[in-house]
């Protein structure tokens, strides 16, 4: 029973982390807004099952990247509240990782959506 309670709590804490990040991080709100736009466009343009799978993988990667970035920034701020060049490297590299994911997702998204939009014209 104790093990089950630990499992349930681990999910609870994970959801708390997601909610906290949504509330506190502007970039997370931007990613979620873009995700919503893609979902609406995907419904309107009738994405195939394979295309939806690709979009879901990309959504997951970008959102997870933003969560990891937030975690890294919080830890760096906790252990190094004043400016330090290595702290800056850690924070900038984490943010850069999210940027790489977002750019890759945008490129793949364009590869999926542009042909569908052109077909409507």
Backbone φ and ψ of 82, nearest 5°: -95, 165
**Identified catalytic residue from 3, 16, 25, 66:** 66
What helix, strand, coil percent values describe the chain, rounded to 5? 90, 0, 10
**What does the alpha-carbon distance between residue 65 and residue 73 come to, in Å, rounded to a whole number?**
12
Q: What DSSP state is assigned to residue 46?
A: T
Active-site residue 73, yes or no? Answer: no
Please report which residue ranges of the chain form alpha helices under DSSP H: 2-24, 26-44, 49-79, 85-120
As annotated, the active-site residues are: 66
């Amino acid at each position: 029973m104790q093990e089950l309670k630990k499992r349930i709590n681990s999910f609870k804490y994970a959801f708390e982390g997601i909610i906290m990040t949504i509330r506190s991080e502007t970039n997370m709100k931007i990613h979620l807004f873009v995700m919503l736009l893609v979902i609406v466009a995907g419904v309107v343009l009738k994405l195939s099952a394979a295309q939806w799978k690709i979009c879901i993988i990309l959504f997951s990667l970008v959102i997870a990247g933003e969560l990891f970035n937030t975690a890294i920034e919080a830890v760096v701020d906790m252990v190094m509240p004043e400016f330090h060049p290595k702290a800056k490297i850690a924070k900038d590299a984490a943010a850069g990782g999210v940027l790489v994911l977002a750019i890759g997702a945008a490129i793949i998204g364009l590869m999926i959506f542009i042909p569908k939009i052109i077909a409507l014209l």
